[in-house]
Amino acid sequence: MEVRAKHPLAIRWFHWINFPVLALMIWSGLMILWSNSVFTFAGRPILSQEFLEHPLAWYDNLLGHLGRKPGDAPYTLSFRLAEGMWWHFAIAWLFGVNGALYAAYLLRSGEWRTLFPDRHSLKESIHVVLHDLHLSKRPLPRRKYNGAQRIAYTGVIVLGIGSLITGIAIYKPMQLSPLTQALGGYTAARFEHFWIMILFLGFFAVHVGQVLKTGWNNFRGMITGHELAPVESPLPEGEVAA
């Protein structure tokens, strides 16, 4: 085995800064959502008032076992609109700055060449999915990012841009009325912002699952910047690689 460089220091910093920032954004966003849900389907609210006031029955039961009343918990999400907005808008600046610096680094360093999808990515991503579902035994390509990762990570960048655009439209709907109207109006912008959050959560679940699946060596690459890789045996004289 040999030690190989994998992730530059800047990429690791952007990654680990973004993790708690995005977690706080989702937490504070849920405070705002729980305070006033505007999402309806066929004229009926998707989240009922009972759900908004008592989102998790097991949570209330847990508090009861701990000898506390449901309303005593300092981290309950309901009826905390002002606090949620304060956290959300404060952290949004850090989220935006970190994302802008990340994008600038990708372009300046040339890292985008290994991250953005190429003409083989779609076909390769299908192979990756089939391999993960144990429907294909063909080995995965040995490179920094496979086709599925390229599409997923680029998609996260698009989600980040979308969350900022919809968030700004929600934050200043009157001052930025052309942007808000382009998104379908204030309620539509909130709806789009909500589903971007859902996609972020979906990516996070898959991402963590893949990290657990691939093991410590892959995770170490995002901490130390290096990973252990097998030493490639030299080809016998006269032979060439296929």
3-state SS class at 135: coil
Q: Which helix (H) or strand (E) holds 41?
A: strand 40-41
CA distance 114 to 116: 6
Angle 186-173-32 (CA atoms, 0-180°, nearest 5)?
65
CA distance 13 to 24: 17
Query: Judging by DSSP bridges, how do beta strands 44-45 and 226-229 pair with one another?
Result: unpaired
CA distance 158 to 188: 18
Q: What is the pLDDT along the chain (242 residues), one digit of tens a residue?
A: 677 778 889 999 999 999 999 999 998 888 887 776 666 555 666 565 555 555 555 555 655 655 555 555 544 555 677 888 899 999 999 999 999 999 999 999 999 999 999 999 999 999 999 988 888 888 887 788 889 999 999 999 999 999 999 999 999 999 999 999 999 998 889 889 989 999 999 999 999 998 888 888 888 888 888 877 766 655 455 444 43
Domains (range + CATH), the chain? 2-35+81-229 (1.20.950.20)
First to last CA, the chain: 23
Residues 6+ apart with CB under 8 A from 78: 34, 35, 52, 53, 54, 55
> What single letter denotes the amino acid at residue 77?
L
- Taking the CB of residue 88, how many other CB atoms lie within 10 A of it? 22
- Is the whole-model pTM more than 0.75? yes
Alpha helices in 57-185 (DSSP H): 57-65, 81-109, 112-115, 121-132, 147-171, 177-182
